A and B are shown apart, each in its own frame.
Chain A
Amino acid sequence: MSRTTGSQSSLREANRTLVIETVKEFGGLTQVELIDATGLSAATVSTIVKELTSSGVVDTQPTSRSGRRAQMVTLSPQTGLVAGVHVARRQIRVLLGDFSYTTLASTSLPVPFDQPADTGLDRIALLLAEMIDGVGRSTSDLLAVGIACPAPVDATGMVSVRGLMPGWEDEQIGELVAKRLGCAVHVDNDANLGALAEVTLGASREVADSLWLTVSDGVGAGLVLGRRVHRGFAGAAGEIGHVQVDPTGSICRCGNRGCLETVVGAEALLAPLRPLHPHLTLRDLVDRAVHGDAGCRRVIADAAATIGRVVGSVCQVVNPPMVVVGGPLAESGEVFLEPLRAALAQHTIRHLLGPVEVVPSKLGSTAEVTGALVLAVQRTDVTHRSET
């Protein structure tokens, strides 16, 4: 952040903004952590927090850190309501919360594979309206919504790659939902938002660079560099599901050949098990593996090894200290993580600081929808609102 060299008041304004942005970035942190993160003096932080508390921008709650009393600073829950939506291939997940990241309600609606956009968007609006009603609030309290899509999204909020989200690609998803709900709507890729959630509130909060890896119906990754999600030119950064692993493989839904997803996507994983288990789902696969089914464990371990080759290449280029793994397959725990670590060790150069740390997601199946909510919070100007 560049500091303006100007009047006392513009300096104070800049410091104030810095404090607000830092609280947004970390979701919530103690006053001591805020001093560390902003580099401001204890006195300045204390004054600004007091000022922001009295103007209703932030809220402080007593907490403890290493046994000592501390003040937890969050954005004020009074600011209004905010929501995250994750449009996945087989479900729509909605999280309703406030600006202090307190969850007020959450719902998950199973949907069919090819749900058309009009039905889906109506469902999103109805779900949100009912959930807001359910917590005794009004839709006019809803200030912003974030939407996570299972396809790359460009800076204008449009799906930027064809074939990954059939029926939704020509829709102004953000505008259509904004029209129905009457609030700001921000759209991004679900893997990017999973990464945003983990770096803001989850497992990678303490490190500057990290990779979010999610293995579900497809495979995706989100790249965090210097605590910022790296989206890329068309929002397609981290689309590791479309890295080629088999030059003679099947044609992928993206149009290329032999993408990682054609080898480890849900359909590819379940196909060899179909003769034994005709109706198996990804969830059943994980359940069976956890309970010791040798065939299912093998399928997951082989997938982890293949994914590990691709993730290894990414780690070789970016050299992050941590890979955070989410999605249903990661819920099989070490069945997936152990072969993934082994593959990463084989496919990255060994350096003296030790191997990349592979950890399970802290937010689990709610990572993407939480990231969508974080996006909505971070894109909302809370200062302006409290002054009007």
Chain B
Amino acid sequence: MTDTPMHAGTTALHDLGPAPVADDARTPVLSVLGVSKRFGAVEALVECSLDLYAGEVVALVGDNAAGKSTLAKVIAGVLQPDAGYLEIDGQPVSLPGPGAARQHGIAAVFQDLGVCDNLDVTANVFLGQERTHRGLLDQGGMERVSREVLSMIGANVPSLRTPVGRLSGGQRQGVAIARTMLGEPRVVVLDEPMASLGVVQTAEVLTHLDRLRSLGMAVLVIGHNLNDLRAVADRIEVLRHGRNNGSFDGPTSRNDEIIGAITGAWPQ
């Protein structure tokens, strides 16, 4: 259970309906179907498939160079597959660029976060999509919305006027996730959000993931620490040498089974 009050989060900004909980329609929001991607001699993805449903957190794990980030980039429209395709709500789509992915409700936060250290929290949340009012920046309106999106994901920042460079790693991650909320996404992809964070900050990020889930989003999170990922993931998908190598139930699976699938010891 999270620290935050249960019903904070439904705001005028996001018309998410009365109940900020999972939509259980059994059509995946997003399907990756038989996607392959090659970089020269390197087969980054080989007929890789993945389904993401609304209101679930899926952890994508694998060894280094297993294709996790490549898959995330394909979903985010940054890379285009050589073979295979994506479906949204059961309809085939092509995502020629990140803008197209965003239009389809797919938001991604990559390892570099893309935040500007010298700008404050509000400016980072609205970076590239600043709001104006009668030709001037709508500072008050943007601060109000920033506060709303930060509280939706359960993020705490000392002040909206703090330059992002002065925030902790977990708070910076929170700002980057809050920014994606402006596009009212249905799928959120997070590449290694817990990398090089302390345990308090890891706790913050895990809480954000839990929040996104209860807002009804489909969340794909890439990471290494199985203990942390299994704390929030409904499902764990393993990639090995660019191929699917196992799918596990988050709550009931064991670390050793998953590690077996990552290293190739499983299936025998």
A interface residues, Cβ below 8 angstroms from B: 88, 90-91, 93, 106-115, 119, 123, 126-127, 130-131, 134, 216, 276-280, 282-284, 286-288, 290-293, 328, 331, 365
Residues of B8-27 contacting chain A, CB below 8 A: 18-22, 24
Q: Contacts A110-B231, A112-B251 known; A365 to B21 CB distance under 8 Å? A: no
Top-6 shortest CB links A-B: A112-B230, A109-B203, A110-B231, A291-B19, A130-B200, A126-B199
Asked if A127 contacts B231 (CB within 8 A), the reply is no
Contact check: which of B6, B55, B204, B231 meets A279 at CB < 8 Å?
B55
User: Whole-angstrom distance between the alpha carbons of A90 and B227 in the complex?
Assistant: 11
User: Whole-angstrom distance between the alpha carbons of A276 and B25 in the complex?
Assistant: 9
User: Taking CB as reference atom, which chain B residue is nearest A124?
Assistant: B199
Asked if A127 contacts B203 (CB within 8 A), the reply is yes
Asked if B231 contacts A112 (CB within 8 A), the reply is yes
Residues of B219-239 contacting chain A, CB below 8 A: 226-228, 230-232, 234
User: Taking CB as reference atom, which chain A residue is nearest B168?
Assistant: A134
Q: Kindly provide the distance from the CB of B55 to the nearest chain A CB, expressed in whole angstroms.
A: 6
Is the CB of B192 closer than 8 A to any CB of chain A?
no
Known: A112-B226, A291-B19. 8 other contacts (CB 8 A): A107-B203, A109-B231, A110-B232, A113-B252, A126-B199, A130-B199, A283-B1, A288-B19
Chain B residues in 8 Å Cβ range of A292: 18
User: Taking CB as reference atom, which chain A residue is nearest B253?
Assistant: A112
Q: Contacts A112-B251, A131-B200, A284-B214 known; A106 to B24 CB distance under 8 Å? A: no
Chain A residues in 8 Å Cβ range of B24: 276-279
Q: Kindly provide the distance from the CB of A313 to the nearest chain B CB, expressed in whole angstroms.
A: 28
Is the CB of B198 closer than 8 A to any CB of chain A?
yes
Is the CB of B3 closer than 8 A to any CB of chain A?
yes
Residues of B128-186 contacting chain A, CB below 8 A: none
**What are 24 A-B interface contacts by the 8 Å CB criterion?**
A91-B1, A93-B3, A106-B3, A108-B3, A109-B202, A109-B231, A110-B203, A110-B232, A112-B250, A113-B230, A131-B200, A134-B200, A277-B24, A279-B22, A279-B24, A279-B234, A283-B2, A284-B22, A284-B55, A287-B21, A290-B7, A291-B19, A292-B18, A331-B6
Q: Contacts A287-B21, A287-B214 known; A107 to B231 CB distance under 8 Å? A: no
Q: Kindly provide the distance from the CB of A378 to the nearest chain B CB, expressed in whole angstroms.
A: 25
Chain B residues in 8 Å Cβ range of A123: 199
Asked if B231 contacts A90 (CB within 8 A), the reply is yes
Asked if A113 contacts B203 (CB within 8 A), the reply is no
User: Whole-angstrom distance between the alpha carbons of A131 and B3 in the complex?
Assistant: 16
Q: Kindly provide the distance from the CB of A354 to the nearest chain B CB, expressed in whole angstroms.
A: 31
User: Whole-angstrom distance between the alpha carbons of A112 and B206 in the complex?
Assistant: 12
Is the CB of B191 closer than 8 A to any CB of chain A?
no
Chain A residues in 8 Å Cβ range of B55: 279, 284
Chain B residues in 8 Å Cβ range of A119: 227
Asked if B231 contacts A111 (CB within 8 A), the reply is yes
Find the residue from B18, B53, B199, B232 having the highest chain A CB count within 10 A: B199
User: Whole-angstrom distance between the alpha carbons of A293 and B206 in the complex?
Assistant: 27
Asked if A109 contacts B3 (CB within 8 A), the reply is no
Q: Kindly provide the distance from the CB of A155 to the nearest chain B CB, expressed in whole angstroms.
A: 30
